[in-house]
Amino acid sequence: MLNKSLFIKIAKITWALFGVGLFFIALWIVAIQDDFGGYFGGMPDLKELENPNSNVASEIYSADGILMGKYYRENRTPVPLDEISPNVVNALIATEDIRFREHSGIDLISLMRVFRGIITFHLDGGGSTISQQLAKNLFNTRTKQYNGTWTTPDNSKILRMGIIKFKEWMLSVKLERSYTKDEILYWYLNTVDFGRNAFGIKVAAKTYFDREPIDLTLPEAATLVGMLKAPTAYNAIGNPERSKFRRNVVFKQMEKYKYITPEERTVLKEEPMVTNENFSEVDAHHNGLAPYLRTVVRNKVMRWCKDNDYDLFSDGLRIYTTIDSRMQKHAEGAVKEHMKELQGNFFDQWKGKNPWRDEYGKEIEGFLEKATRQTERYRLTKIKYDGDSTLIAQEMAKQMNESIKMKVFDWNSKGYEKDSVMTPLDSIKYYKHFMHIGMMVMDPHSGQIKAWVGGINHKHFQFDHVQQGRRQPGSTFKPIVYATAISEKKFHPCFQVTDVPKTFNLESGGTWTARNSGGYTGQTMTLRQGLARSVNTIAAYLIGELGEKEGANKVIKLARRMGIEAPLNPVPSLALGSSEVSVYEMVGAYSTFNNEGEWTEPIFITRIEDKNGRVLRYFSSKTKPALSKDDAATMMYMLMGAGEERGGTALGLWKYKFRKAGVQIAGKTGTTQNYSDGWFMGMTKNLVVGTWVGGDDRSIHFNNFAYGQGSRMAMPAYGMFMDSLYMDSTITDYVNPKEKLVDKSKLSIETDCGKYNRSDIDTLGRNLMPVRGKLEDDIM
């Protein structure tokens, strides 16, 4: 036995070593905390601890509260702890940190187990607590931001990880002091990475099981907790067998700590893996409600964020739009139904031939080569070879003619996509055969946009044809000419004009004569009939009456008051819609007729909130007077003629249920030269709808009037949409047969035009025959 003095000596040495050890540990902690000499790297300050950065996804909602989509770098949406299934919490604690409720951030028992495992070469689990993992997740302790001389990746791995671990231990203790255990669980479950860009339990539950967190079953909860060890290796969708193995390890831990019985574990471990088969991270940004509008909203809000010091992709903003989810679904459904049929007609018409043609019907040479030079592939090749035309041409010839596997859009395939093998050049040729559409639906009184369909498929065609694109409006521009004439010269609907040629002397030299596609009839008709039949010579006559030189400028002034900002060429052909405008601008302009002469700015956002629900910005429409109430009412009466007058271009709408039920509409078709653009503008009492249809380029179009007119290209989409609204019993404010567009008794104009009046149609089919055997609506 050791004598007493030796024992005391050993004890003193032990205590001395212990004291020195404590001193050096304290010195080490202080050195790390203060980043002594820049060797250790920085630490998050107390403010960061109080407001840790959790990169919350911003969300976009419809007016009726439906989540339309998200904007994020990390897809994360927080959820309160009481809205998370206890199955998740139990599985997490049993697997990751059984003494979570007892320790203060560092589990010494687990650390001792780790040290013993290192010595015996038999590791049995890690020593990181939930608090330490949270510290790592919240503060990114292993990134460059907190690197010092000794913690860069090129230094000793043992030294580097030792410093990082100490940082995480220190942060975990601070977290434990700053938050309750439940708050730490809340932070952890809402920040942890579950793979496939699913951050937090709410997004993970939706991604992998299409459930809310509160509804997660025990097998689902165990699967998600099991994935935390390695989200890719144990991914429930990517590696289901390995994920099942890891899930069963979680069950073993839950049995060990009495969360489930051995009998329950026996049953649970045989449960099959069932995950959300419809999940696609790539498609997430393209699917869902109004993907084209979500892109427009993103760009607008990003500009607002830049001016107001917010980050759209991490600050958890909530953006509330004007979109009515029901109307958006009806609009998207109508577009798909109509465009699928129209595309079939287009393919049949150009079968075996290319549709890109000049004004004489001749195929445009070099069209595909020009299209190739507009691709991203060409841009990158040009950069690669520093603009060397020879090398670029050689590389592009090689790349564009090499067959590769690809997925292409197809109306007749499941999900509108099919697998194919073709060259990049063939894919350009294939996609150039498609017809496109833009449709916007707006409440003319509030300016709120209720539906926005920017194209046929956002994944394959991301160009927005509502606001981003401008095309010639054709005859849909004529009502602005008529409104100018009524306002300036006090013309009225019963004023009679003869359909004869009208020629103008141009300031640039030469002349321009308005032509009708079917020639001149010599008939005398009222202005209402002229607008209803879309006779070009009548619109040309009116712009001439406004002044051969200043007439176009007067029309432009009114167009500006009606919200059209696009460049407008002050020439006589403006009367027939020769200058390009957007669907967005046209819908706003037509709202003036339907809103007692007040132009109302179209809006698609009502407010932006922060992640705590505090309103950061409200949005409302700007308004300005454009026409008098009488003139606006007169134009509504005029535009009703398209669906009432003999030969009216909107008579085809009588086949739809909403029209048969007596819903009044005012409308206007539009067709441009060579049938490149088809338009329809339709109005009911509380709704304005604008629709454009055409090819990617103006040279891509139908080759005859039968399919190429606005009443065939665009109007059916409107009819289908309105029928869907009419049949939807939850929507009653916009398609009501009892509502009258115009009270004729209050109009201060003559509406009884004697033998020319065709406004009172009591029996469907009466007086509905076209004037010249076809509906005229052409820009020549």
Q: Average pLDDT in the 356-376 region?
A: 89
pLDDT given for residue 42 in this prediction: 55
pLDDT over 60 (residue 764) = no
Q: What is the mean pLDDT of the chain?
A: 85
SS3 451: strand
pLDDT over 50 (residue 374) = yes
Q: Which domains does the chain have, with CATH numbers?
A: 20-51+74-285 (1.10.3810.10), 438-755 (3.40.710.10)
pLDDT given for residue 45 in this prediction: 61
Question: Three-state SS across 330-360?
Answer: HHHHHHHHHHHHHHHHHHHHCCCCCCEECCC
- Alpha-helical segments (H) within 562-702: 583-594, 629-640, 657-660
Q: Average pLDDT in the 3-13 region?
A: 68
Poorest-confidence range of 26-30, 338-342, 497-501? Answer: 26-30
More confident residue, 379 or 648: 648
Q: Average pLDDT in the 721-742 region?
A: 91
Q: Average pLDDT in the 555-573 region?
A: 96
Poorest-confidence range of 36-45, 48-57, 63-72, 235-244? Answer: 36-45
Token pair in block for residue 713? 């290209």
Q: How far is CA 508 from the centre of its chain?
A: 44
* Residues 639, 624 contacting (CB under 8 angstroms): no
Poorest-confidence range of 68-72, 204-208, 687-691, 773-777? Answer: 773-777
pLDDT given for residue 287 in this prediction: 79
pLDDT over 80 (residue 142) = no
pLDDT given for residue 458 in this prediction: 93
Q: Average pLDDT in the 72-91 region?
A: 89
pLDDT over 80 (residue 347) = yes
pLDDT given for residue 349 in this prediction: 92
Poorest-confidence range of 268-277, 314-323, 336-345? Answer: 268-277
pLDDT given for residue 119 in this prediction: 45
Inter-CA distances, 197 with 238, 299, 432, Å: 13, 22, 34
114: number of Cβ within 10 Å: 16
Question: Three-state SS across 136-179?
Answer: HHHHCCCCHHHCCCCCCCCCCHHHHHHHHHHHHHHHHHHHHHHC
C-alpha closest to that of 92 among 192, 211, 235, 166: 192
Angle at 275 between CA 270 and CA 280, to 5 degrees: 160
Token pair in block for residue 326? 């029901």
pLDDT > 70 in the chain, percent: 81
Q: What is the C-alpha separation between 480 and 745, in angstroms, rounded?
A: 24
Q: Average pLDDT in the 773-780 region?
A: 37
pLDDT in tens, 498-530: 999 999 988 888 899 998 877 899 999 999 999
pLDDT given for residue 620 in this prediction: 94
pLDDT given for residue 759 in this prediction: 40
Q: Length of the chain, please?
A: 780
pLDDT in tens, 117-140: 444 444 454 567 888 888 777 765
pLDDT over 60 (residue 451) = yes
Report residue 763's pLDDT band, with 50, 70 and 90 as the boundaries. very low
